[in-house]
Amino acid sequence: NMSGGLRYEYRWQDDHKYKKPTKVSAPLYMSMLMDWIETLINNEDIFPTRTGIPFPKNFQQVCTKILTRLFRVFVHVYIHHFDGVINVGAEAHVNTCYKHFYYFITEFSLID
């Protein structure tokens, strides 16, 4: 299951196939998350790419939702898979990715 240890279980909801928060495996959660983010980023109404087209009023709310869900991936990796990360010698890379993620969300107050 997609979790952040024993206290937190992350359920998937996307308002399409999963209208209610639904327990799914971690690989499925992450796969659906990446697809969901890709769909949002490619949506010109949410992420306009042309000059003069304003961002929607809920832009920061959408970004916060994306980043909150990505934060869950970091939590899951650190709690459930960090031994594997160490075994392949990738802890410095993962730590650097997380540090940059953390500084970004903190600098712009994107996650509570």
The pLDDT value recorded for residue 100 is: 98
The pLDDT value recorded for residue 66 is: 97
2, 71 in Cβ contact below 8 A?
no
Residues 6+ apart with CB under 8 A from 78: 94, 98
pTM check: above 0.85: yes
- Residue-level pLDDT, tens digit, the chain, 112 residues: 999 999 999 999 998 999 999 999 999 999 999 999 999 999 999 999 999 999 999 999 999 999 999 999 999 999 999 999 999 999 999 999 999 999 999 999 999 8
The pLDDT value recorded for residue 15 is: 85
List the Cα angle 102/104/107 in 5-degree steps.
105
Q: Which pair of tokens denotes residue 45?
A: 């109404």
